[in-house]
Amino acid sequence: MSSPILSIKNLSKTYSNGVRALNNVSFDVEPGEFLVIIGLSGSGKSTLLRCMNRLHDPSAGEIWFQNRRIDQVKGSEIRHVRKEIAMIFQHFNLIPRHSVLSNVLMGRLGSTNTLKSIFGLFTKEDRETALRYLGLVGIREKAGIRADQLSGGQQQRVAIARALSQNPKVLLADEPVASLDPATCHTVMDYLSKVNKELGISIVCNLHFLSLVRQYATRVIALKGGEIVYQGSPKEIDEAWFGRIYGEGAKEVHVN
């Protein structure tokens, strides 16, 4: 087995208001895997992802990305890390007033000179890349439409295309289907799966629905109160584990 692409060692995060979101979390992300993180709201899933691409600063511990330590880097190096470790969000976080193509081009900001980007001077290759990834997520024909006129599922696909145009090694997905209807859920998850298989990009995804976890994940980590309580195959999560992760008395909800 090759060396892990991302390696989290004893990571802890305490917010300035004293909330301890992560406590001594350690795990590896292997190249090409579809790793899913589950847990209750407030269990630290979102914080964990945001520490991995340095949107948040971890309080203690180490993060290694391609054998380089990234938990202490600053300035332009942080931006380089974020470029390599792309992210999509629960609420898509697109720019509503801009066109779909313009939103996807924003994935190139990290590789474009600030002055050039402000005047919209993206290269021809950048535009072609953007259109290609829009094609990959099946909405190439929507390139000229304003982003806020798309449905939720389509917006999340634009967000995937934006993340892909960063040419990332890893894609973090923070509850990518939590604000979508059940049918659209599967479309978006299928595209994430496609990205994972066709482009070989490792995916770390926060999810709520266990049925989706069983269908898409190659490996599962469960967080509870900021600590890892389960690590292993999605097929091994039975009733007992479910109770331990989500609390006794919780009922599993299925998405079909």
Partner 1 sequence: MAAFTAREQKKFMSTKSSSPKILFFDAVFFTYTAALLCYVAFLFVSSIGLVSGDYDKDFAIRYMSTFSLICLGVFLFMLAALKILSSTTSVSTVGAFLFSNPIRKLELAQTSFLKSFWGLHLLVTLILTFFVSLRVTQFSIYELTDPDGLGGAIRLFSDLANPNFDLLPTAIIEVFETIFIAFLGTAVAIPIAFLLSFVCAKNIMTNPVAFAIYVTLRTLLNVMRSVEPLIWAIIFTVWVGVGPFAGMLALLIHSIASLTKQYSEIVEGVSDGPIEGIRSTGASTVQTVWFAIVPQVVLPYIAFTIYRWDINVRMATVIGLVGGGGIGTLLIKYQGQAMWREVGCIILVIAIVVWVMDTASAYIREALK
Residue 26 or 72: the one with the smaller Cβ distance to partner 1 is: 72
Task: List the one residue out of 8, 102, 106, 111 whose CA is nearest residue 50.
Answer: 8
Q: Under the criterion CB under 8 A, does residue 124 sit at the interface with partner 1?
A: no
Which residues fall within 8 angstroms of residue 180, CB to CB, at 6 or more apart? 152, 153, 156, 188
Q: Which of residues 148-187 bind partner 1 (CB under 8 A)?
A: 159, 162-163, 166
Q: Under the criterion CB under 8 A, does residue 55 sit at the interface with partner 1?
A: yes
253 touches 212 (CB < 8 A) = no
Single out the residue of 14, 40, 59, 109 in contact with partner 1 (rule: CB under 8 A). 109
Q: Under the criterion CB under 8 A, does residue 118 sit at the interface with partner 1?
A: yes
Query: What phi and psi values does residue 200 have, to the nearest 5 degrees?
Result: 70, 25
What is the nearest approach in angstroms of partner 1 to the Cβ of residue 203?
Answer: 15
Single out the residue of 4, 107, 153, 176 in contact with partner 1 (rule: CB under 8 A). 107
Residue 8 or 171: the one with the smaller Cβ distance to partner 1 is: 171
Stretch that binds partner 1, among 61-69, 92-100, 123-131, 242-250 (CB under 8 A): 92-100
What is the nearest approach in angstroms of partner 1 to the Cβ of residue 202?
Answer: 16
What is the nearest approach in angstroms of partner 1 to the Cβ of residue 168?
Answer: 10
Q: Under the criterion CB under 8 A, does residue 95 sit at the interface with partner 1?
A: yes
Distance CA 245, CA 231 (A): 11
Q: Under the criterion CB under 8 A, does residue 94 sit at the interface with partner 1?
A: yes
Query: What phi and psi values does residue 234 have, to the nearest 5 degrees?
Result: -65, -25
Q: Under the criterion CB under 8 A, does residue 106 sit at the interface with partner 1?
A: yes
Q: Under the criterion CB under 8 A, does residue 131 sit at the interface with partner 1?
A: no
Q: How many residues bind partner 1 (CB under 8 A)?
A: 31
Q: Under the criterion CB under 8 A, does residue 91 sit at the interface with partner 1?
A: yes
Single out the residue of 98, 127, 132, 194 in contact with partner 1 (rule: CB under 8 A). 98
Q: Under the criterion CB under 8 A, does residue 110 sit at the interface with partner 1?
A: yes
- How far apart, in Å, do the first and last CA atoms of the chain sit? 35
Chain residues in the site for partner 1 (CB under 8 A): 53, 55, 79-83, 86-87, 89, 91-98, 106-111, 114, 117-118, 159, 162-163, 166
